Amino acid sequence: MSTLDETPEPQVLVDFRDQQTQRLNKIVQRVTFRPDRYRWRIGTTPWMKYPFLQIQAYRPDTFTGEHGWGSGGKAYISEFATESEVIQTMLGLAKGYDEHEVREAFLVDGSRPYGPHIHVDALIGVSEIYDARPQMTKGAP
């Protein structure tokens, strides 16, 4: 696919290794969220007890401009998570993904001051630079 006009099929990518991933898939199937652009990945890793849920989006890459699937954050879902908790987690992953994309695309003088990939040490280096309004005094306009 080369453009967003050629939308991918909505789908959920699932690794059915156990009963928990099957339960998670049933919950995920209940949710509709822009299926022309987003999909959900359910997977497992050998080192984690719980399966994960991950949002993916078909979009142009911010840096290369190439269209393809981008993966967002992951959430490991406890076997004790309620259906509502899983669905709320999906909402959080979707919001987080979109915020991530906004932060990558938001430029000030050609730079990404709110970019999600800025190293924490760089942020610490500027954390004491403060910008705020002066204190308002009583009766001031």
Task: Say if 4 falls within a structural domain.
Answer: no
pLDDT-derived band at 13 (thresholds 50, 70, 90) equals low
In a domain, 108, yes or no: yes
Give a yes or no: residue 95 inside a domain.
yes
Report if residue 88 sits inside a domain: yes
In the structure, what pLDDT confidence band is assigned to residue 101 with cuts at 50, 70 and 90? very high
DSSP class of 56: E
Please report whether residue 132 resides in a domain. no
Residue 135 lies in a domain: no
Residue 89 lies in a domain: yes
Domain that holds residue 79: 12-126
Identify the pLDDT of residue 120. Answer: 96
18 DSSP assignment: S
pLDDT at 45 over 90: no
Nearest to 71 by CA among 50, 91, 101: 101
pLDDT over threshold 70, residue 6: no
Q: How far apart are CA 29 and CA 67, in angstroms?
A: 25
Q: What DSSP element (H or E) covers 83?
A: helix 83-105
